[in-house]
Amino acid sequence: MLFLRLVLIPVLLLGSASRPDTAYAGNSVPPLDISNNDGSDRDPQIYGDYVVWEGSDGNDLEIYLYRISTATLFGNISNNNWIQDYNPRIYGNFVVWQSNDGSDSDIYLLSANYLIPDKLFSWNVFMPAIINNAR
């Protein structure tokens, strides 16, 4: 089974803009594995000091949050079992995502300041976006 890991690469302005692979060539700082798990992680979004993504906890898809400045992994912020959580988007300190319990889809909102998710909509809704953070 193939597992993907979310890796944050500190990029220094040392290379050619036309050759992104040289942007950190020679830098002794290796990529940082911020998800550090055995599950599959995907759909990372970054805004300011935060990175958010969806990843498998072994049972279903969950939403994870990482704060760059403090190197803090808040972990599974959606925190539910057997409910698929995906399509995370972030703007400022707010994270939204889609959740599907098998009967319908809901949209959740979480403030990174409080880390307590609130359900925004209770009917079939899809593909949340914040400001211009759409796909």
Which domains can be identified in the chain, with CATH numbers? Answer: 7-121 (2.120.10.60)
Q: What is the pTM of this model?
A: 0.69
Q: Is the pLDDT of residue 4 over 70?
A: no
Per-residue pLDDT band for 113 (boundaries 50, 70, 90) equals confident
Q: Is the pLDDT of residue 36 over 50?
A: yes
Q: Is the pLDDT of residue 115 over 50?
A: yes
CA distance 46 to 133: 10
Q: What number is the average pLDDT over the span 88-101?
A: 91
List C-alpha distances in Å: 12 to 20, 30, 52, 131.
11, 12, 22, 28
Q: Is the pLDDT of residue 14 over 50?
A: no
Average pLDDT for the chain: 75
Which segment of 28-32, 66-70, 73-77, 95-99 scores lowest on mean pLDDT?
A: 28-32
